[in-house]
Every structure is written in C-alpha cells, then in structure tokens.
Amino acid sequence: MKGIILGGGTGSRLAPLTKSENKHLLPVYNKRMIEYPIRTLVDAGIKDIILITGGNKPGAFLELLKNGKDHGIDRLYYTYQEGSGGIADALKLAEQFMEGSEPCVVILGDNYFEKSIKQQLVWWNLNRRCRGAGILVRQTSTPWHFGIAEVENGKVISIEEKPSNPKSDLAILGCYFFDYRIWEILPELQQSSRGELEITDALKVYMLNDELTPFNYFDYWSDMGTFETWTEVSQRVARTDGNSSNR
C-alpha cells in the first residue's frame, strides 16, 4: 500500500507568506508543515510514499526530505502539479507510481492528525479487504467550512462540499483510503463551478455504489491552511511535542 501526499496549491489563505514560499514548507513549531502528514503515514505503517508538489520552490522539498530515510520512509517519490486544478486533478499524477491493483492512502499536506490513523486503516483492511473507499469524519461546529458527510446506520448517504445549509456536522477530514478503482473514476470527473476536479465527486461515486465507509476520528485534528489554524496547531505542537522533548 502506498501513501500519497498532496502538497500543491497556491496557499492563498496564507498570503503574503506564500507569495514566494510553498505553504507546506512553512514552520509549524520545530518542523515544516509537510513533515506532519508524513509522520501520520509512517506511524500507520505506510513507508512507500509519493509527494505531489506544486506552486513555489518545489526543489525545496527535495532539499528538506531528500530520500525520506530520516523520516522513516523506505521509498519517496516526487512529482509536480502545474496550476491548481484541485485535489482530484493532482491525485491523477500519482497513478504512474502505483503497482497493479494496490490500494492507497491519500492525505492532504496541510492536515495535522495528532493521533494515529492506524486503527481505522487496519479496520478497512481486515473488514473491507481494502475494497471501496474510506473517509475519516469528525464533528465540527463550522460545517460550512468543510466537505460534509451525512451518515445513517454506518453508511454515508450524502456528501456536500462546504454547504450553506448542512445536513450534518460530520466534517470529512483530509485523509482518504482508496482501492485501485480510483484511477478509473478520476478521468470521468467533471470540473466543478470552481473550475476544479473535486475529491468529493470521486467519493460520491463510491457512495452511490455503497462502497464508501466512514471512520470516526475522535482525536485532535486540524488543517493548517489559514493563519488561525496554522497558529493554533503550532501552539498545540509546542505544548505537546515541546514538553515531551524537555522531559
């Protein structure tokens, strides 16, 4: 199973810091932002990783991460997304690195998961045999900021992207499990009103085939894509990781 990290985009919400810098290279306490999703994958046992970069200074990722060995990675690949066609558009670039019908875990490069996702991944492996797709969901007080999943009896029955009148308070977090059929679905997606290929549209295909499994994630999670969330995560990591290193 491979891990795919999406580290592209323009980082417009963190301007002007991202005018000449890739947001995923910004410091979050004593690490770079991109190192946290790497840690999430490695802690879950995924050490064959593809990093899809974009925007400014793509070479800086190679300077920072090199071959990935210092971060517990066995094999680290790089590729580059031109423009900002959306998450699903970036994901298509990873297909050439996949082998046969192997599944993958996709994580957004600005997402911070404080605890491991290994339990959810193991459940998907044992009970679904890595078939279909899986999403991590968590209750939120601001559902209009996220993709939202409506769940009944353990099944996803609707998905909305940043709804103004949400049907649920379950945010879809920036980590997804996919079987090999994702590569058949992506080419069939149509651009949204934002001019992007939306990952939620790919998830809807799995949902309509009753192959989308929601997993609750109860621990602390945040994206780091705004000044508020970037600062909040930095302060939280300073309290947790910083205190641990000083013991």
CATH for 48? 3.90.550.10
Determine, yes or no, domain membership for 169.
no
Determine, yes or no, domain membership for 147.
no
pLDDT at 244: 56
Q: Note whether 163 and 145 are within 8 A (CB).
A: no
Determine, yes or no, domain membership for 127.
yes
Q: Note whether 51 and 77 are within 8 A (CB).
A: yes
As a whole number of angstroms, the distance between CA 29 and CA 127 comes to: 38
Residue ranges making up the domain that contains 28: 2-135+174-187+204-245
Determine, yes or no, domain membership for 84.
yes
Number of domains in the chain: 1
pTM of the model: 0.94
Determine, yes or no, domain membership for 141.
no
pLDDT at 247: 39
Q: Note whether 14 and 230 are within 8 A (CB).
A: yes
pLDDT at 246: 47
Q: Identify which of 42, 45, 94 has the alpha carbon closest to the alpha carbon of residue 68.
A: 42
Walk along the chain (247 residues) and give the pLDDT tens digit of each residue: 999 999 987 778 888 888 888 899 999 999 999 999 999 999 999 999 999 998 888 899 999 999 999 999 999 999 998 877 788 999 999 999 998 889 999 999 999 999 999 999 999 998 888 899 999 999 999 999 899 999 999 999 999 988 999 999 999 999 999 999 999 999 999 987 777 788 999 999 999 999 999 999 999 999 999 999 999 999 999 998 766 554 3
pLDDT at 36: 98
Determine, yes or no, domain membership for 23.
yes
Determine, yes or no, domain membership for 145.
no
As a whole number of angstroms, the distance between CA 67 and CA 232 comes to: 30
Determine, yes or no, domain membership for 165.
no
For residues 136-167, one letter each, b for 16 or more C-beta atoms within 10 angstroms of the residue's C-beta and e for the rest, the string is bbbebeebeebbbbbbeeeebeebbbebeebe
